[in-house]
A and B are shown apart, each in its own frame.
With several copies, the nearest count.
Chain A
Amino acid sequence: MHRIDIKYEAERFGLVFVWIALILLFGVMRPETFLTWSNFSTIFGSEAVLVIVTLGLIIPLTAGDFDLSIAQNLTLASMVTAILNARLGVPIIATIPLVLLIGMGIGVVNGAITLYFRVHSLIVTLGIGTFLHGITLWISNSQTISGVSSSLIKYVIVTRILGIPIEFYYAIILCAVIWYVFSYTAYGQHLLFTGRGKEVARLTGVNVGAVRMGAFIASGFMGAVAGILYTGTTGSANPSSGTFLLLPAFAAAFLGATCIKPGRFNPWGSVIAVYFLVTGINGLSVLGFRTFVQDLFYGGALVVAVMVSQLISGRKERSI
């Protein structure tokens, strides 16, 4: 960590450089539209939800578990927020804690089944996610629910700081909190050891079950936060909102693990990975490329970025 080593620093910041290069490229091609502060504030503001989902994923990933239910958790949270607030008239200040509790409750269910029955988290969370999707369709009658209180909308996107909607700052604050927890608390190290060597952790007095449970609850919480922000961003909830987010969030989590702290899932890396990918997509839209080019870019960038990062590190064997 404290060694200064050009190769290692290149590896840590490789993705940042590629991101900057991409911005310059689009900037040269469309200086007047792409390279404006308002365009960047749009990019930063609109992908806060994806950032939060990605941050939610990396917590159980660090502990060695997958949470595939986070996307459907988001959708349900978004739908419950809209139904409680817009349909049943529950004030938003009461809705939010309730929804956060539901999210954490889902985390508890995921964790309890995974831990008590010793089943792989991938299948548990896939099953729970599908179940949650069913609930969402049920309570919403498969409809989009709009009419959410404008105060929620105000504190999610209308309020801006430096021109960027405030939800971006929420995401950054969450990122900073997770970074602090990962780096400066015993829980962060316990997560890491749980993910990399459960037996070592257990014999060193780490309550591995509690650590994993904590990770599931945290990702459930993040899913609910993302759901509330989603509703706040769009002023409505639709029953398929989260579906689009799962694979991009996984992509960003793994891509993020190639930078800042290579070889580990880390929050700043995740944020950079999200915005790198989004910048590319946005730039292609601004240039008016057809949408298949977005897929080519997304897939290609992902693969090339991890390849380059591995080349820099000398193709080191890694467990993630």
Chain B
Amino acid sequence: GQSDGVAAAKANIDRYSKIPTFEAPGEAFDAKACMAGKSIFTIPASSSIPFIKTIADHRNEIAKQLGFEHSIWENQGNPTQWIQGIDFSINNNFDLISLLAGADPRFFEPQVKAARDAGLAVVTAHLTGLEQDVPGGVTSATAIDYKTAGSLLADWSIVQTDGKVNALVLVSNEALSTDSMVSGLKAAFDTNCPDCKYEIVNVPISDWATKIQPTVRAKLQADADINYVIPIYDSMSSFVVPAITITGKGDSVRVATFNGTPFVIDFVREGQVEMDVGENLDWIAHAMLDAEMRILCGLEPVRDSKVPLLIFDRNNAATAGTPAEASKGYGDDYVTGYHKLWMIEK
């Protein structure tokens, strides 16, 4: 029945509403010792996207702590620059290339192949969902539980409306994680609220600034009963929020989203966005590096990074700081957890 579905959704929401605990992705190993003389080269999808830039910078600090060589290829999201970065890392004898958070290897398979032929490991980090295949011929893919993130967005709206969702879902098909999130979202609606209505609209990332606003406005006009807008990536909300304000539907339409970008958590605190499923960027930095070090150390590669999700709503948004900061509000026992795992702390 419907109330069962709502209850199931509520349970799922509750599970991700508390500060997460550390879960080891694999066995412990002596990171300092086995990483000595090894080097990692990080190509972020774009260093002008704060989310990614922050992860890359935190990785740098951890690498410094562990005493191995780590370089970041600063770029502006242009695939030509990614390609230059790969060539650069081959020429300069790095051991592993980490394609961070959106540098999609399908955009440059020939270069990936060249790197692997030259003996480098190529890893995607924070790109695919747990259930997705390794893309573009890379060595391995360190995955994130996007599917659950998608289900949380659906479950949240189900709980809040008591099973009467009419949602506009904004996605960007060209990002690999979209498939995973959408499958989670659909599954949650199918099982917990088969009567809920939702429409999925694709807006390519490069068209966010021009197309999200008019699309959202027109959809809200066309269907006066819409009560949720779910942009699956929270950076879309800077265009979603004004579209809702301009149509004068601030009271009836709410926003639920994913990523935990600081300004969106600010929006949550101020009430323009209802909830944001967040990830701890510092945690991601640790987890991705952990998986990559395991490859270089000859250990069993991990696929599930065990990076947890945390729901921010107006009750806990302030724990992320005012204004919000990238890795605040998630607790910090994971730091000790990783240090123990890497045997730099007992």
Contacts and interface: CB of A to CB of B under 8 A. Distances in A.
If over half of B's interface residues share one DSSP class (helix, strand or loop), that class is named, otherwise mixed; here it is helix
- How big is chain B's contact interface, by range? 35 or more
A43 B174 CA distance: 27
Contact of A36 (B72, B221, B223): B221
A113 B334 CA distance: 54
Contacts of A137: 48, 204
B110 A158 contact: yes
Contact of B246 (A45, A87, A147): A45
A147 B318 CA distance: 13
Interface in A260-304: 278, 281-292, 294-295
B109 interface: yes
Contacts of B247: 38, 42
Interface in A34-51: 34, 36, 38-39, 42-43, 45-47, 49-50
B336 interface: no
Contacts of A286: 88, 218-219, 221-222
Most B Cβ at <10 Å: residue of A34, A144, A146, A235: A146
A242 to B, nearest CB: 9
B92 A33 contact: yes
Contact of A147 (B84, B224, B323): B323
Contacts of B110: 150, 153, 157-158, 233-235
Nearest to B172: A142
Interface stretch (B22-30, B122-130, B152-160, B207-215): B207-215
Contact of A50 (B80, B136, B323): B80
Given A33-B222, A46-B84, A234-B241, A142 B108 contact: no
B83 A46 contact: yes
Contacts of A81: none
B221 A87 contact: no
Interface residues of A, number: 57
A30 interface: yes
Contacts of A244: 78, 80, 207, 209-210
Contact of A289 (B74, B92, B114, B174): B74
Most B Cβ at <10 Å: residue of A144, A240, A289: A144
A241 interface: yes
Interface of A: 30, 33-34, 36, 38-39, 42-43, 45-47, 49-50, 86-87, 137, 141-147, 150, 153, 157-158, 160, 163, 165, 233-236, 238-241, 243-245, 248, 278, 281-292, 294-295
Given A46-B87, A153-B110, A282-B217, 18 more contacts: A33-B221, A36-B221, A38-B87, A42-B246, A46-B217, A46-B243, A143-B50, A153-B245, A158-B110, A233-B110, A234-B79, A236-B263, A290-B201, A291-B74, A291-B76, A291-B201, A291-B207, A294-B74
6 contacts: A33-B222, A38-B91, A233-B83, A240-B205, A248-B210, A287-B222
Interface of B: 46-50, 53, 71-76, 78-81, 83-85, 87-88, 91-92, 104, 106-111, 114, 136, 172-174, 201-207, 209-211, 213-215, 217-219, 221-224, 235, 238-239, 241-243, 245-248, 261-263, 266-267, 270, 272, 323
